[in-house]
Chain A
């Protein structure tokens, strides 16, 4: 990378290298974790082979506007996938297609297949509420239910989906611990969720999603409204969760993508519909991107 472009370029290169290092370190830690897990429990891993999520030739429209073109992407169980790209490139639309939230927008249409455990979630006769139960979602803005206490918020999914759980307190504690919020709220479970700080509210929303035990967790820019400290806490949470579920995260923060994800997909729109330009392991995207546009984006030359 010895292009004669002066200090600016060297700086960018250094930045890319540091991102690549972060991603590489993450990959090493991850593989250690995975090998450990595979030796733990063989049968459980067999069950997970069929799990995960596959998007096949997904297109999306709003009214007559084609906003997403031909995206095929595999999300393996136990991995974190980061979706990056400039605003308006269809990342959020894509992630909403993955748990059938896309259809709530008037005028929305789609094509293609999304397979959960090998079965299309858009096949006719499917119970949409069951699909969404298995594929949880955390939104950009923290949105705890205002009329519910912290405890009720975490357990709200059970009530909404009419699930019975034998030991609610155990589940409550488990979800809050996994979301990294337990120590902060264990003495104030009966306060309203709105009383928490933004970062805590977002972790409360993550805990809420975990309570219904989803196989896949979709996160649409979960940290964009949070301060760096809360962001770090949530990234730790994502890493802790990633061994037991499939996680897809939309982010505008390159550092975050490098820190938390195993696989990164780069989306881009050239004025027309958004396309997936490149998908690869996160370390490859940041250290050795195949496409020039990906390189330009991750080095901060545009977008």
Chain B
């Protein structure tokens, strides 16, 4: 009877997983790869870490292909060559990123203290000890410009995307072309544009708002293009269902299309912030730079973290460079906080199904 069978203790197994015995040749091959690479570097003119890495890659491809060839056939050998290549490609992406993160934390952590978040550099010389002065002015400036640029560019960017995907108006082709062209604008040109129009022609002074406007020019195309891609993925069925229920196009978009695309649109905003948070060049022209805290975003010289970093690096003293590294660390943490915040807000109503 089947009930009797089911009482026999059956454990879930994974027959497709290799046993340790089967893995032994793989392990030996890996060791062999490293060993042979070591020997090659030792006995040939090829020297150093770079030479060793190159040899490991080459030997890994050769040995794993040979192992597969012995085990199975030519197809398996080609398969393992591509596998190794894909892993190497992945490594090339992760390695620089990990090393940058490691370097920033290692060098920046020395200057990190509570004091830097409460004071500015108004009365502190650049060669003063690290426990004097801080980057409050730059932190506040960055917060101002990122928030203002986001408030300006997100509505414009998303409305542009809606025009392209929902309205599909007569000008859609032209708008799409200009959005694409805009995403290629060098950041210094955006800064120059605001400098020439907003400040020279219209007579405004340096301010955080002027910096934010320059960043807006850079952020709009990123937000618009990403949003457009996201909105295109929303099935047309949903739009038709909304309209068939007697909704106007606007209400259908607002009630159905945008909520359905919500998490993707938040990603678009995050990518936009990521695009501008570390920009320095346009800020040089539009914010003027300052060592004192300026709480008014609409008027007066102000600073931002990239600005603070740039300034301290150009000063070049040991303590100034330490301050710059700490500034980089703070900027990185700030961007991380922005991302986390956006994700949390975006997933509050867990609906991305």
List chain A positions with a Cβ less than 8 A from chain B. Answer: 99, 101, 104, 129-130, 132-133, 136-137, 139, 141, 143, 145-148, 156-157, 159-162, 192, 194-195, 205, 208-209, 212
Interface centre among B235, B255, B260 (most CB of A within 10 A): B255
Residues of chain A within 8 A of B248, CB atoms compared: 129, 160
From B241, B243, B256, B352, A205 is in contact (CB under 8 Å) with B241
Residues of chain B within 8 A of A143, CB atoms compared: 235, 237-238, 240-241
**Closest residue of B by beta carbon distance from A145:** B256
Q: How far is the CB of A114 from chain B (nearest CB, A)?
A: 15
- Interface flags, B242-261, vs A, CB<8A=1, else 0: 11111110011001100110
Mind listing 15 A-B residue pairs with CB under 8 Å? A129-B246, A137-B240, A137-B244, A143-B240, A145-B259, A146-B238, A146-B260, A146-B351, A147-B349, A147-B351, A156-B256, A159-B255, A160-B242, A194-B353, A209-B244
B225 interface residue per 8 A CB criterion: no
Q: Given the complex of chains A and B, what is the CA–CA distance between A212 and B245 in angstroms? A: 7
Q: Given the complex of chains A and B, what is the CA–CA distance between A143 and B238 in angstroms? A: 6
> B351 to A192, Cβ gap below 8 A?
yes
**Closest residue of A by beta carbon distance from B352:** A146
Q: How far is the CB of B256 from chain A (nearest CB, A)?
A: 5
Q: How far is the CB of A248 from chain B (nearest CB, A)?
A: 13
B137 interface residue per 8 A CB criterion: no
Q: How far is the CB of A146 from chain B (nearest CB, A)?
A: 5
Q: Known contacts A147-B260, A156-B255; decide if A208 and B237 are in contact (CB<8 Å).
A: no
- Interface flags, B316-328, vs A, CB<8A=1, else 0: 0000000000000
> B243 to A101, Cβ gap below 8 A?
yes
Q: How far is the CB of A35 from chain B (nearest CB, A)?
A: 33
> A157 to B243, Cβ gap below 8 A?
no
Q: Given the complex of chains A and B, what is the CA–CA distance between A99 and B243 in angstroms? A: 10
> B245 to A209, Cβ gap below 8 A?
yes
From B251, B260, B349, B351, A160 is in contact (CB under 8 Å) with B251
From A132, A159, A194, A195, B243 is in contact (CB under 8 Å) with A132
Interface centre among B237, B244, B259 (most CB of A within 10 A): B244
Residues of chain A within 8 A of B246, CB atoms compared: 129-130, 132-133, 157, 160-161, 212
Q: Given the complex of chains A and B, what is the CA–CA distance between A209 and B244 in angstroms? A: 8
Residues of chain B within 8 A of A161, CB atoms compared: 245-247, 251
Q: Given contacts A141-B237, A159-B251, list 18 more A-B pairs with CB under 8 A.
A: A101-B240, A101-B243, A104-B243, A133-B245, A136-B244, A143-B235, A145-B242, A145-B256, A145-B259, A156-B245, A160-B246, A160-B251, A160-B252, A161-B245, A192-B353, A208-B241, A208-B245, A209-B244
- Interface flags, B340-353, vs A, CB<8A=1, else 0: 00000000010111
From B241, B244, B251, B349, A145 is in contact (CB under 8 Å) with B241
Q: Given the complex of chains A and B, what is the CA–CA distance between A132 and B245 in angstroms? A: 6
Residues of chain B within 8 A of A192, CB atoms compared: 351, 353
Scan residues 226-281 of chain B and give those whose CB is less than 8 A from a CB of chain A: 235, 237-238, 240-248, 251-252, 255-256, 259-260, 262
From B245, B262, B353, A157 is in contact (CB under 8 Å) with B245
Scan residues 44-102 of chain B and give those whose CB is less than 8 A from a CB of chain A: none
Residues of chain B within 8 A of A130, CB atoms compared: 246
Q: How far is the CB of B240 from chain A (nearest CB, A)?
A: 6
Give the size of the chain B interface in residues (CB under 8 angstroms).
Answer: 23
A-B residue pairs, 9 tightest by C-beta: A160-B247, A133-B246, A147-B259, A161-B246, A157-B245, A137-B244, A143-B237, A194-B353, A147-B351
> B244 to A132, Cβ gap below 8 A?
yes
**Closest residue of A by beta carbon distance from B244:** A137
Q: Given the complex of chains A and B, what is the CA–CA distance between A194 and B259 in angstroms? A: 14
Q: Given the complex of chains A and B, what is the CA–CA distance between A291 and B340 in angstroms? A: 68
> B240 to A160, Cβ gap below 8 A?
no
Q: How far is the CB of A127 from chain B (nearest CB, A)?
A: 10
Q: Given the complex of chains A and B, what is the CA–CA distance between A71 and B28 in angstroms? A: 77
Q: Known contacts A139-B240, A146-B351; decide if A129 and B247 are in contact (CB<8 Å).
A: yes
**Closest residue of B by beta carbon distance from A148:** B259
Residues of chain A within 8 A of B238, CB atoms compared: 143, 145-146
Residues of chain A within 8 A of B262, CB atoms compared: 147
**Closest residue of B by beta carbon distance from A104:** B240
Q: How far is the CB of B345 from chain A (nearest CB, A)?
A: 15
Q: Known contacts A99-B244, A146-B351; decide if A162 and B251 are in contact (CB<8 Å).
A: yes
Residues of chain A within 8 A of B241, CB atoms compared: 137, 139, 143, 145, 205, 208
Interface centre among A143, A156, A160, A194 (most CB of B within 10 A): A160
Residues of chain A within 8 A of B242, CB atoms compared: 145, 156, 160
Q: How far is the CB of B200 from chain A (nearest CB, A)?
A: 46
Q: How far is the CB of A191 from chain B (nearest CB, A)?
A: 10
Residues of chain B within 8 A of A132, CB atoms compared: 243-246
**Closest residue of A by beta carbon distance from B353:** A194
Residues of chain A within 8 A of B352, CB atoms compared: 146
Q: How far is the CB of A239 from chain B (nearest CB, A)?
A: 22
Q: Given the complex of chains A and B, what is the CA–CA distance between A156 and B262 in angstroms? A: 18
Q: Given the complex of chains A and B, what is the CA–CA distance between A101 and B241 in angstroms? A: 10
Residues of chain B within 8 A of A101, CB atoms compared: 240, 243-244
